[in-house]
Amino acid sequence: MTGTRDTLNAFLDYPDAPVPSSAEGPLAGFTLGVKDIYDIAGYATGGGNPDREKAFPPAAKTAPAIQALLDAGARFIGKTQTDELTYSMIGLNAHYPAPVNRAAPQRVTGGSSSGSAAAVAGGLADIAIGSDTNGSIRAPASFCGLLGLRTTHGRIPLAGTMALSPSFDTLGWFAADRTVYAKVGEVLLGEDTHKARLTKPVRIEALDACLFGDQERDAYGTMLRMVTRHFDRQPAFLALSETPDALFEYFRRIQAFEAWRVHGPFITEAQPRLGPGVKERFDYARGISDEAMENASQGRRRFQQEFAALFDDDMVLVLPSQPTAAPLKSATLEELNSYRNRALTLTAFAGLLGWPQISIPLGQVHDAPFGISLLGPAGSDRQLIRLAAEILSGN
């Protein structure tokens, strides 16, 4: 980390290389951390695995999305930790010290954008870039008490980025201040392509049922009332023809198939050390057949068509960001995997659609942050950012 002591294990200890930025622009004066899956000229892109870091030379060119932030005045201060090859959402990487969740130090930060969330929540960076394949922005945002947007799939180009599952991968970011958050969105997103105002909140009972217990339901109910006051109407309910578990299975198979396509050659040839959980997920990914991939892809397309027919242009889906607060760092691998499956069932919804979803830090449960989310149609990203800011301000 450049110029500041990192006590939160948020940043990686790479040798400093010059990263010029503009002295002017909407982000001038703001510091920037970047998840270690994005190329920064002169820096390695380790992707959370030390063997991968050694296997590839430092980047010759900065990823265009990151360069846009530098050109807008943001000052790069270092690359942030990520879960290994981004194939996790807990925030614990076997190869590095655990990032510290300043909002709940005994609990994980969430991942895979773990270091980016830790850096912003701990006041080390004004802005930190992450990514979201299946919750890697939304989970850390909920766990650490931050705003976090999963952007419309394909809206921000991912050139110069280590992939995991290209049909789901998206860029996202954290910022402590909602005005700064909106400025980043202006730089990276341009104008929304979805023009209809999102004025009609809706819910899905099967997604709300992913909440863990009574305390979570009470905390979620409080947040829901705050959101509903903004819209001045009670949400209607939409019904799904398939269960969230079935939808997650489509997501899981497609993600695994693509993850092996992306990382399988490196894993096969380099035989890298993979941490617990990540190793087992890649073992599973190796075995996904073309037929299983095609069946899951058909299920995904069917879901997209059915949900688009249900969802009017002015609707916004309100749903839990996560089933509960961040897991404790002392949790067993079995407990973490159990949490992960419930949580990913929630987050897979937006990924399958390719639509934007923002987590809003409105609540607490078990003395730790707990977020609520808004999901809108493709291209409504900046409107979701504005809605989140208005809800947070009570307007």
Residues with a catalytic annotation lie at 35, 112, 136
Per the DSSP assignment, residues forming a β-bridge with 359 are 148, 373
Q: State the CB neighbour count (10 A cutoff) for residue 215.
A: 14
Per the DSSP assignment, residues forming a β-bridge with 130 are 172
Q: State the CB neighbour count (10 A cutoff) for residue 264.
A: 14
Residues 6+ apart with CB under 8 A from 320: 207, 208, 210, 211, 216, 220, 346, 371, 372, 373
Q: State the CB neighbour count (10 A cutoff) for residue 221.
A: 12
Q: Are 321 and 345 in contact (CB under 8 A)?
A: no
Report DSSP letters for 355-383, one per residue.
--EEEEEEEEETTEEEEEEEE--TT-HHH
Residue 394: DSSP 8-state: T
Nearest-angstrom CA–CA distance, 312 and 335: 39
Q: Is residue 227 helix, strand or coil?
A: helix
**Structure tokens belonging to residue 143:** 């766990």
Per the DSSP assignment, residues forming a β-bridge with 128 are 33, 174
Name the packing angle between helices 244-270 and 333-353 (round to 10°).
110
Nearest-angstrom CA–CA distance, 360 and 64: 27
Nearest-angstrom CA–CA distance, 256 and 390: 38
Please report, in angstroms and rounded to a whole number, the separation of the first and last CA atoms in the chain. 38
Name the packing angle between helices 244-270 and 290-310 (round to 10°).
140
3-state secondary structure 257-281: HHHHHHHHHHHHHHCCCCCCCHHHH
**CA dist 196 → 38, 118, 225, 312, 314 (Å):** 33, 35, 24, 10, 6
Pick the closest to residue 96 from 114, 78, 110 (CA basis). 114
